[in-house]
Structure 1
Amino acid sequence: MIDVELNDEGQFLSSEQLQLVKDVLNHAAQEVSLSQQSEVSVTFTTEEDIHELNREHRGIDRPTDVLSFALNDETSDFDPTFHEELGLPNLLGDIVISVPHVERQAADYGHSFERELAFLVVHGFLHLLGYDHMNEEEEKQMFTKQEEILQSYGLGRSES
């Protein structure tokens, strides 16, 4: 089980779409056998805001579709066993999604807004777990896992 904090101050998404995000994240957590109670936040934002975050945190001066900020990556001093010993959830980190990108990419790829939203949520979630796509091998592993999760949830490429 994963606790999901949703931040949609711009009221971009419907209550059904927000529930989809929670459901997809819980499904993804099961699919990757996340055994520990965990927590993640997901923020939905504008293209301008994600552009600023991308520039500030990654040094890339353009908007992007999704950003992930892991709290327990190998470069941090975070100790997930500390939370487990205290009975607290494992704080995975934050996912930030540009809603205009969801809309545009759904149209570009010819599938539903919900499928693209779920794709970006799973993509961000896998980054929080340490998956990456910096080289061909990593990309294949990550994208295969993404598609497996979406397919088993019912939002595979042919099901949207």
Structure 2
Amino acid sequence: MDLEIYDKTTDKVSEEDIKLIRDVLNFAGSYIHLKDNAEMSVTLVNNDEIQRINREYRNVDRPTDVISFAIEDDSDDDFPIVLDEDMADEIPENIGDIFVSVDKVTEQADYLEHSFQRELGFLVVHGFLHLNGYDHMKKEDADVMFPLQKEILNAYGLKR
């Protein structure tokens, strides 16, 4: 997976935590059989920036922990591009962008009494699953997403 990670935080995240993000997302991609040439980004921000994003895109004026922006490729183009299977497999698929509040990672890790790394991994996997079509707004969707999320984190080694 082609993964870009941007650290826009004031105190900067450690290289070990950047590596954790990269490793856990690559693991999650393999776990759900994501195409190798998928592309996505993770941007680490502070509460003020994620609150601005939350207000602008969701009309919720408070900080949140993670926001995912999935890129939908289903369009009603008048002129669709038709490629043979080999060519289609070579074109990278951008699945979207995740924004994570590092302030919320710290707050929630303290509140839940587990490590910063566990919470960071949890939030990026949560956002990653949203980018891949999983949701939890309806009970039947949550019954699929939450066990998968836990399964990925446990298999990776980020248990509670």
Using the size of structure 2 for normalisation, the TM-score is 0.88
Q: Share of identical aligned residues, percent? A: 48
- Trace 1:36-47 onto structure 2 (pairs within 5 A): 36-47=36-47
| 1:35 shift after superposition | 2.9
Write the distance in 2 (CA, Å) between the matches of 1:136 and 1:129.
18
SS in structure 2 of the partner of residue 13 of structure 1: coil
**Equivalent in 96, 116, 127 of residue 113 of structure 1:** 116
SS in structure 1 of the partner of residue 63 of structure 2: coil
- Trace 1:8-157 onto structure 2 (pairs within 5 A): 8-10=7-9, 11-72=11-72, 85=88, 87-157=90-160
Task: Please say which of residues 10-19 and 59-68 is displaced more in the overlay.
Answer: 10-19
Write the distance in 2 (CA, Å) between the matches of 1:77 and 1:43.
30
Give, as a single letter, the amino acid of the residue that structure 2 aligns with 1:141: V
Runs of at least 4 residues of structure 1 off by over 6 A? none
| 1:3 shift after superposition | 1.2
Q: Is contact 1:71-1:93 (8 Å) kept? A: yes
Q: Is contact 1:12-1:99 (8 Å) kept? A: no
Write the distance in 1 (CA, Å) between the matches of 2:107 and 2:26.
26
Unaligned ranges ≥5, structure 2: none
Write the distance in 1 (CA, Å) between the matches of 2:42 and 2:142.
23
Q: Kindly tell me the number of residue pairs found equivalent between the two proteins.
A: 154
Distance 1:47 1:112, change over 3 A: same
| 1:87 shift after superposition | 2.1
1:38-63 deviations in Å (ceiling 9; x for gaps)? 01100000101101111111111211
Give, as a single letter, the amino acid of the residue that structure 1 aligns with 2:27: H
Write the distance in 1 (CA, Å) between the matches of 2:51 and 2:42.
17
Alignment root-mean-square deviation, CA: 2.2
Q: Is contact 1:44-1:98 (8 Å) kept? A: yes
Give, as a single letter, the amino acid of the residue that structure 1 aligns with 2:5: L
Distance 1:77 1:14, change over 3 A: farther
Q: Is contact 2:8-2:46 (8 Å) kept? A: no
1:12-39 deviations in Å (ceiling 9; x for gaps)? 2100110100000000001101134101
Q: Is contact 2:70-2:130 (8 Å) kept? A: yes
Write the distance in 1 (CA, Å) between the matches of 2:89 and 2:76.
17
Distance 1:89 1:73, change over 3 A: closer
Write the distance in 2 (CA, Å) between the matches of 1:5 and 1:95.
10
Q: Is contact 1:46-1:99 (8 Å) kept? A: yes
